[in-house]
């Protein structure tokens, strides 16, 4: 009898063996959905709503990618990954694309063999303190207790910053944003450091946001963007140009509402090439001709996604700032569709 259990377990659990490595697009097509790795829960960027549907800035990109491939923004499943498991999940093929506010760095790109497909948010590391602490600048933090999330680039930046400024500090490592909030609000640490977008989200969720102050210093560059595994250029191209299509759409004035209309043809040849009424870009990249139309219609263009999830009218309340389109003086820039 016991022997039966064993065999049954092996058989019943049924291991699915997919094709190795190369053609991610074919695998995704065969599966019928995209598997996207997102944050385990960061308000505004990726969080399940009360019905368990994932929404947020990072999630919207995944939906656009799914729409570009399948024409259906809901043909995507989300795997919440932690700072520790995100790269392994991508490398092992557990997820097809990782869209989890991940900083593009040399070692992650080169040593960990990942391909960053672009930058969808220009962030920087900052500090948040209680106003009652009476600190106005990060240079006054000598000897402070600092809460940091482990497994991120922030703890490396922090070490470098204090070292180069000749200051001492007491690092308090924590695993998640929620724990950091708990420690910070209970005064177990003086300042909390993470990306400024995360600080804004944390500050927004506090019952009295005015009692908290984000210090002016930005101690690092944190270009965040989606990434895919090394070695499948076609898949990387798809992921890269979906992001570029969202950005170009903002620049060219294509929105979720007018995309369908514009896809019929406009006077602007670049819009026509992008939306597929001219040329055969869809065929070149291995998708249908109207891939970009679906991608833009999923959750809107870059500006719409930004404003809906993290913009000034949301609880997060982030200004566009460096994330404005280049023609408005920001850094967000897409190569041309030509």
Partner 1 sequence: MAYVTEQSSRPFRLRMLIYDTRYRSLTIQICALAGLMLVIAWLISNTAQNLALLGKPVNFGFLSQPASYDINQSFIEYSSRSSHLRASVIGLMNTLLVAFLGCLLATAIGLVIGVLRLSRNWIVARLMTIYIEGFRNVPVLLWIVFYMAIIIEVLPSPREFRGDSPEASMLLWDSVAITNRGVYVPEPLFSNGLGDVSVFGIFAISLDLIAFLVVLGAGIYASQRVARWAGKVQESTGVRPATWHYSTALIVVPPVALLLALGFHPGFPELKGFNFQGGINMRNSLIALWLALACYTGAFIAEIVRAGIQSVSKGQSEAASSLGLRPTLSMRLVILPQALRVIIPPLISQYLNLTKNSSLAIAIGYMDVTGTLGGITLNQTGRELECILLLIVCFLCISLTVSAVLNWYNNLVKLKER
Partner 2 sequence: MDGTTFVRKEILAAQSPPTSEIGIGGWARENLFGSVFNSVMTVLSATAVVLFLAESLPWILQSSWTANSLSECRERISDRYGEGVHGACWSVIRERYLQMLFGFYPSELYWRPILTFVLLLGALSPVLFPSIPRILLVFSAVYPFVGYWLLWGGSIWGPFSIVAGFAIGIFAGQHVKYRIAMIAVLILSVYLCFRISGYLQTAAPVGIEPIESAQMGGFLLSVTIGTTGIVLSLPIGILLALGRTSDLLIVKAICVGFIEFIRGVPLITLLFVASTLLNLFMPPGTNFDLILRVVIMVTLFASAYMAEVIRGGLAALPRGQYEAADALGLDYWKSIRLVILPQALKISIPGIVSTFIGLFKDTTLVSIIGLLDPLGLSTSIRADSDWNGIVWELYGFVALMFFIFCFAMSRYSMYLERKLEISNH
Contacts of 289 (CB under 8 A, 6+ apart): 276, 280, 281, 282, 283
Binding of residue 264 to partner 2 (CB under 8 A): no
Q: Which of 34, 38, 43, 254 binds partner 2 (CB under 8 A)?
A: 43
Nearest alpha-carbon partner for 66 in 219, 294, 231: 294
Separation between Cα atoms, residue 228 and residue 24, nearest integer Å:
10
Least gap, CB of 324 to partner 1 (angstroms):
32
Residue 231 or 335 with smaller CB distance to partner 1: 231
Question: Among all chains, which residue has been given the structure tokens 């191209």?
Answer: 237
DSSP letter assigned to residue 222: E
Least gap, CB of 68 to partner 1 (angstroms):
26
Separation between Cα atoms, residue 302 and residue 52, nearest integer Å:
24
Q: Which among partner 1, partner 2, none contacts residue 2 (Cβ within 5 to 8 A by kind)?
A: partner 2
Binding of residue 7 to partner 2 (CB under 8 A): yes
Question: Among all chains, which residue has been given the structure tokens 């009692």?
Answer: 211
Binding of residue 41 to partner 2 (CB under 8 A): yes
Least gap, CB of 140 to partner 1 (angstroms):
9
Nearest alpha-carbon partner for 199 in 140, 124, 99: 124
Least gap, CB of 256 to partner 1 (angstroms):
37
Q: Which of 105, 145, 176, 255 binds partner 2 (CB under 8 A)?
A: 176
Question: Among all chains, which residue has been given the structure tokens 């895919």?
Answer: 228
Q: Which of 23, 26, 75, 85 binds partner 2 (CB under 8 A)?
A: 85
Site for partner 2 in 195-234 (CB under 8 A): 205-207
Identify whether the C-beta of residue 303 lies closer than 8 Å to the C-beta of residue 190.
Answer: no
- Token reading at 161: 């910053």
Q: Which of 24, 25, 34, 40 binds partner 2 (CB under 8 A)?
A: 40
Q: Which among partner 1, partner 2, none contacts residue 207 (Cβ within 5 to 8 A by kind)?
A: partner 2
Residue 86 or 294 with smaller CB distance to partner 1: 86
Q: Which of 130, 181, 221, 320 binds partner 2 (CB under 8 A)?
A: 181
Q: Which among partner 2, partner 1, none contacts residue 336 (Cβ within 5 to 8 A by kind)?
A: none
Identify whether the C-beta of residue 64 lies closer than 8 Å to the C-beta of residue 295.
Answer: yes
Q: How far is CA 217 from CA 137, 193, 335, in A?
A: 7, 11, 31
Identify whether the C-beta of residue 277 lies closer than 8 Å to the C-beta of residue 254.
Answer: no
Please give the residue ranges that form the binding site for partner 2 (CB under 8 A): 1-9, 11-21, 40-41, 43, 48, 52, 77, 79-82, 84-85, 88, 92-94, 175-179, 181-182, 185, 205-207
């Amino acid at each position: 009898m016991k022997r039966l259990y064993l065999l049954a377990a092996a058989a019943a659990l049924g291991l699915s063996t997919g094709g190795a490595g190369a053609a991610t697009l074919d695998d995704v097509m065969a599966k019928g959905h995209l598997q996207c790795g997102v944050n385990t829960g960061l308000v505004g960027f990726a969080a399940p709503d009360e019905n368990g549907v994932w929404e947020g800035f990072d999630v919207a990109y995944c939906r656009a990618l799914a729409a570009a491939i399948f024409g259906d923004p809901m043909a995507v499943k989300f795997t919440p990954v932690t700072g520790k498991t995100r790269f392994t999940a991508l490398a092992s093929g557990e997820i097809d694309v990782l869209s989890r506010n991940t900083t593009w760095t040399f070692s992650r790109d080169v040593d960990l063999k990942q391909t960053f497909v672009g930058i969808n948010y220009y962030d920087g590391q900052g500090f948040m303190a209680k106003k009652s602490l009476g600190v106005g600048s990060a240079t006054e933090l000598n000897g402070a207790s600092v809460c940091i999330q482990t497994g991120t680039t922030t703890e490396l930046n922090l070490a470098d910053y204090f070292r180069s400024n000749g200051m001492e500090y007491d690092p308090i490592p924590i695993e998640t944003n929620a724990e950091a909030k708990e420690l910070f609000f209970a005064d177990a640490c003086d300042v909390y450091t993470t990306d400024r977008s995360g600080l804004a989200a944390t500050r927004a969720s506090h019952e009295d946001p005015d009692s908290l102050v984000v210090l002016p210093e930005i101690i690092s560059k944190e270009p965040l963007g989606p990434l895919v595994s090394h070695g499948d250029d076609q898949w990387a191209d798809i992921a890269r140009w979906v992001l570029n299509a969202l950005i170009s759409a903002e620049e060219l004035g294509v929105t979720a509402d007018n995309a369908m209309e514009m896809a019929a043809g406009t006077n602007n040849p670049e819009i026509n090439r992008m939306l597929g009424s001219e040329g055969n870009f869809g065929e070149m990249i291995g998708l249908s001709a109207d891939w970009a139309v679906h991608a833009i219609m999923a959750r809107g263009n870059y500006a719409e996604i930004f404003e809906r999830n993290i913009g000034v009218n949301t609880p997060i309340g982030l200004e566009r700032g460096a994330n404005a389109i280049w023609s408005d003086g920001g850094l967000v820039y897409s190569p041309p569709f030509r």
